[in-house]
Structure 1
Amino acid sequence: MVTATGAALDAAGVERARSVAAQVPDPEVPVLSIDDLGILRDVTARDGAVHVTITPTYSGCPAVQTIRDDVVQRLHEAGFPDVVVRTTLTPAWTTDWMSEDGRRKLREYGIAPPQRVPGGPVPLTLSLRCPRCGSPRTRELSRFGSTACKSLWVCGDCREPFDHFKDH
């Protein structure tokens, strides 16, 4: 790839572009980056542009356009003039793609992270640990929380409501 100044973009430049894109915050859960969530799938250079591929957490995610715009803006600000962002739905996003650091950030933010079950079926969640007090005495109030990818729960001990990032 050749930049606007005519300099070729080498592997280090592509890695820098990936690093910039990886820091874009999720607009619905701003404590997480799109890399923490695992929706940043690929960053390459071809045809004179940086190509970024993202996979939304679900096909109807209303944040996709905002994420796309933020990726383009951040890369432009970092000196990458030509940016193409592609959304792919295959393979479908899974919570297995979420980083351990992202799961930790969710807990610290007060959202119960999804359970990690690599290679196995998604378990039926009867109870979660409260991200505030750690109690297992919790119950689901609503299958849908502040966004479609979260459900609303309440703790029986501290009585605080909290979101749970759904297992996909």
Structure 2
Amino acid sequence: MVTDPRVPRPRSRYDAPMITTAQVERALATIPDPEMPISITELGIIDGIDLEPTASGAAIVRIALLPTFVGCPALDMIERQIVEKVTRLDGVERVEVRVIYDPPWTVDRISESGRASLREHGVTVPSPGDAPAGGSTLVKLRTSAVPCPFCGSTETHLDSAFGPTRCRSIHYCDACRNTFEHLKRV
């Protein structure tokens, strides 16, 4: 087939240069976590992005997804959103999401911007590094006060170990009389 070089050919999704990891990361940063007021990247549940070039010039994008809890009810929804968002990018042939459980997710993976957003929405997060030493996943129950995200007071107490999701508990501030949620250390 002979084509006239003066006539532009229709643009194909494979005409674009291969996608970059940074482009995929930007797309993932727009996906909100269904149970938290932050993105899935701020929550730290994306463990890796691999790009495999194909003969078409596009890439197969493989994303490792690390759930906050085994049996997380939002996992299927998050996977679907990842596939939908990343598939729309130029230079992507296919998206594969793999759920992994090792390394285990911890609250230490939440970004500083994610922590700030959670605080603004009345959800507190344990400080980074509060985990037991030696890499153990043993959870130590403590009676230390969690600072109130509304007034900053440490005159707070655990109201209920069971919050709206498995990963949150309910606390009460005696100073400003507000209830707030606290992410459990995992």
TM-score class normalised by the smaller sequence: 0.7 to 0.9
Quick check: which one's helix share is greater? Answer: 1
1:69 — aligned with what?
Answer: 80
1:59 — aligned with what?
Answer: 70
Q: CA-to-partner distance for each residue in 1:72-115, whole Å, 9 max, x for gaps?
A: 11112333341111110001111111111111111111111222
1:50 — aligned with what?
Answer: 61
Question: 1:129 offset after TM fit, Å?
Answer: 0.8
Question: How many residue pairs end up in the alignment?
Answer: 163
Rg larger for: 2
Post-superposition, which runs of at least 4 consecutive aligned residues in structure 1 deviate over 3 A? 118-123
The letter of the residue matching 2:30 is Q
1:18 — aligned with what?
Answer: 25
What percentage of aligned pairs have identical amino acids?
34
The letter of the residue matching 2:120 is E
* Mapped pair 1:113 → 2:116: no
- Contact 1:39–1:57, Cα closer than 8 Å, also in 2: yes
The letter of the residue matching 2:23 is R
Q: CA-to-partner distance for each residue in 1:129-156, whole Å, 9 max, x for gaps?
A: 1111111111111111010000011111
2:109 pairs, out of 97, 116, 136, with: 97
* Mapped pair 1:142 → 2:151: no
Change (3 A) 1:50 1:125: farther
Gaps of 5+ in 1: none
The letter of the residue matching 1:43 is I
Q: Secondary structure, in 3 states, of the residue corresponding to 2:48?
A: strand
The letter of the residue matching 2:38 is L
- Contact 2:126–2:184, Cα closer than 8 Å, also in 1: yes
TM-score (norm 2): 0.79
TM-score (norm 1): 0.87
CA RMSD in angstroms comes to 2.1
Gaps of 5+ in 2: 1-11, 134-138
- Contact 2:107–2:125, Cα closer than 8 Å, also in 1: no
1:33 pairs, out of 29, 33, 39, with: 39
Q: CA-to-partner distance for each residue in 1:32-56, whole Å, 9 max, x for gaps?
A: 1111111111111126411111101
